[in-house]
Amino acid sequence: MKKGDLIELEITDYAFEGKGISKIIKDYQQIDTGSQKKFVIFVENTYPGDRVIAQINKIKKSYAEAKVKQLIVKSSNRINPLCKHYGICGGCKQQDLDYQIQLKYKEQQVKDIFERIGGFSNLNIEPIIPSEKIFFYRNKMEFSFASKRWLTEDEISSMQDVKDKNFALGLHIPNFYDKVLDIKECYLQSHISNKILNLTRDFFKNKNVTIYSTETHIGFLRNLVIKQSSYTNEIMVNIVTSEENEDLMFQYKDTLVSAIPEITTIVNNINKKKSQVALGDYEIILYGKGYIFDYIGNYKFRISANSFFQTNTLQAEKLYQTALSFANLKGTEIIYDLYSGAGTIPIFISGKAKEIYGFENVNSAIEDAKVNLELNSVTNFQPVLCDLNKSFIPLIREKKIPKPDVIIADPPRSGMNPKTVKDILQLRPEKIIYISCNPATQARDLKLICEKDYKLVKMQPVDMFPHTYHIENVALLVK
């Protein structure tokens, strides 16, 4: 087998991150057992039941990777994708897979990852919680401007001069930081957000406004971020630019509000950095209050342009309720919430605990948490600015914060810093609730914790992002 070879494969299993698995017999014998060894090939965009002609694009000692050149037999679990951008856009990679089967594979992936990476066995995994909505479930969409529009195969093969190839507003093509697919419709947020997207494109395109380039550090337009409340129906439009242009922005504001009166606030974030992030060094409020409100359960939260809020509001309530159920609080507990953000989890559980301390390293998130405290008249939660990439025990001693009975952690995809894991073991809470959007780093961290004095009791997968391979997982550990 060589790179570039074409090979016919039957897909029998499914791997994390959306790759089908085929196993073949290699042409050699294992010396130790004399038995034939199966060689694994991971094939992008395939599902069990598919038979494909695949082209090998990477070869390692124990596995290879390949991409589909021809789909010979389709899996019975395949369906027709709803979106016309499917297969090009990197967003909904499982939109052509029956949703019930998506859930089955996600639940299985959590089990496989914890067995393989964490070394766990006899796992107690509750049935995955499905999403109520499988389309239009996101409360936030982030689009990028680009001066290099992704051209379709038809456009390239036509050999004609392609119009409008130097202006795009949409989503990045996977593995191409400088190329953007011009999106006309997306089924992740709402019909109104699509209207905002297309109106924004037309407005700036007709005025020949320049697009920012990280290579030259020149150009004006950078990002369009749309946030939409699930419960109050408020809508925020955040246009991210490299500099100020008051006249142009107020023309844009007037055009938007006139065409889409449902919009409640418009913000212009000014990002002068080279980094490709839709965050500004500062912001200018063009219309409305500069923020919107949403609810998780009975609790109200203020959402600003740069604050974090769970992207699937309806599922966030189920996720937090799972964490609360796992904690089984009596009302007398001291709780630490690590990576507490704008305080959504502490406020959600505030009625069931004695005291809650939320540790967070982003100052703006701490300020949002303080606002949300007042909004909900919560008096037993204290946000604490803290760098969780360092040991936080000295800070606890300095501020004389009592030791926790329960620790809740919801870290980023990269998981917890080893120093944080060490601190948790030193604090020795009775229970640890670990929420993660990446079961691989979660399994890695929990392996370290369970090597000491803790036992993994049960887990609950929650599907926050239908049609993607992403999966949220809640784990309960007891001392």
Catalytic residues: 437
Query: In the block, which residue shows the tokens 């499988």?
Result: 134
Query: In the block, which residue shows the tokens 């073949």?
Result: 24
Which residues are CB-contacts of 48 (< 8 A; sequence separation ≥ 6)?
Answer: 11, 12, 13, 14, 20, 75, 77
Could you tell me the two tokens for 109?
């992936």
Integer Cα distance of 475 and 194 in angstroms: 37
Provide the 10 A C-beta neighbour count for residue 423. Answer: 21
| DSSP 8-class letter at 222 | E
Give the CA count within 13 Å in the CB-facing half-sphere of 435.
24
**Helix or strand (DSSP H, E) at 397:** helix 393-399
**Helix or strand (DSSP H, E) at 364:** helix 363-375
Query: What are the Cα distances from residue 261, in Å, to 189, 236, 291?
Result: 18, 12, 16
| DSSP 8-class letter at 246 | H
Integer Cα distance of 74 and 359 in angstroms: 49
- The residues facing 407 across adjacent strands are 336, 432
Helices (H), 174-312: 191-206, 246-259
- At residue 287, the 3 state secondary structure works out as strand
